[in-house]
Amino acid sequence: MTLLASYASDPGRSRGRLHPEPGGEVRGPRDMFQRDRDRIIHSIAFRRLRHKTQVFVSPDGDHFRVRLTHSLEVAQIGRTTARTLGLNEDLTEALCLAHDIGHPPFGHAGEDALEAALDAHGGFDHNAHTLRTLMLLESPYPLFRGLNLSWEMLEGLAKHNGPVTRPGWAMQAVDALFPLDLASHASLEAQLAAIADDIAYDNHDIDDGLRAGLLTLDQLLSVPLVKGCWDRVRARYPDVPQDRLLRELVREQIGVMANDLIAATRANIAAAGVETVDDVRRAGATLVGFSPELAAQERDLKRFMYATLYHHPSQLAAADRARVIVTDLFRAYQADPKLMPPEWRDDCATLEPQRSRHIADFIAGMTDRYAEKRHAEIFGELALA
């Protein structure tokens, strides 16, 4: 077991759970954060990530990433870097596995559609919906709603991108239930989960884009970070055909980013003089991150990916179709809640905003293919874009 640094999150000093655990906290060899991780893995919401969009909507090929495989890859990067930095691996892994649970079907296109549908009722945010799902909607236990995760786990999910200064209605509701100190920074484990997410999708989306034929190596080599990594790969394997080295390029970039992250984070921690996890929360700045040089290169890569892959004409057409599906479903259920399954129909309020928010909860939990199926049942087959 890795010796924890003094500023790491310690399950033995956790602020606890919202509800007392029947029989006490300790059952078997797992500590609090290990139990959090296992509750995420065994949740229905986590299993649904298998059929939710990462880059491509309802991908036909079996080799493309979905939200589930992406979350596993984020957890791999997060756990390894946490071990190197002396942070709590189990909390980091749990945060990485759970970070996308609040995403609706069809990725950001589905989120945009729900945000528009709820515009008059407080809007929709996938990060807040992650907390809503895990604290209220996922209910496998007999005595309370939610997974009853630790305070540190919920705090990390709320603030992994930094303090929340303007919480929306969903975040306000969970914070009122179990106050999460939204105005402070989160633990180093939560900060690390956010950067692990960036490293994973920056690089694995390249892999999927190349596989789909929407990106070419020549295009990628216009990005300085990619060019530098490619030159090193070619120098290491001068006699290997180019197409055999594309996945090695992705591995090289992940290594470059991870090593820079570790070095820069160590320097930030030392400069800030933090010694405890409370010092981290009071530091007034994010401490886990890239060096300024790599951060600038990573922003260049993101700009390239948006222009070339995420905004590719075929991707935009698929996103338009996805927004139609989500918007149509929301309007249909709002007009006639009896179209929803009994367990959702019976709990649908008649007053707003509760009615619309309940319908959004149902739609947000759908997988891509379930949303397409329900839309076809109500409206007939939607013509392909």
DSSP 233-286: HHHH-TTS-GGGSHHHHHHHHHHHHHHHHHHHHHHHHHHHT--SHHHHHHSSS-
Rounded CA separation 11/233 (Å): 41
Tokens representing residue 99 in the block: 């970070």
- Please write the tens of the pLDDT for every residue from 322-370: 999 999 999 999 999 999 999 999 999 999 999 999 999 999 999 999 9
Is the pLDDT at 57 greater than 90? The verdict is no
| β partners of residue 53 | 66
State mean pLDDT over 194-205: 95
**Cα distance between residue 33 and residue 110, in whole Å:** 31
In tens, the pLDDT along 243-285 reads 999 999 999 999 999 999 999 999 999 999 999 999 999 999 9
Over residues 295-314, the mean pLDDT reads 95
Q: How far apart are CA 132 and CA 57, in angstroms?
A: 24
When pLDDT is cut at 50, 70 and 90, the band that residue 111 belongs to is very high
Tens of pLDDT, residue by residue over 213-236, are 999 999 999 999 999 999 999 999
Q: What is the pLDDT of residue 382?
A: 76
pTM of the model: 0.95
Q: Measured between alpha carbons, how far is residue 194 from residues 49, 75, 237, 312, 344 in Å?
A: 18, 11, 33, 26, 33
Alpha-carbon gap, residue 223 to 203, rounded angstroms: 13
Cα distances (Å, whole numbers) of residue 41 to 55, 71, 143, 281, 285: 22, 11, 21, 27, 31
**Minimum mean pLDDT range among 13-27, 167-181, 345-359:** 13-27
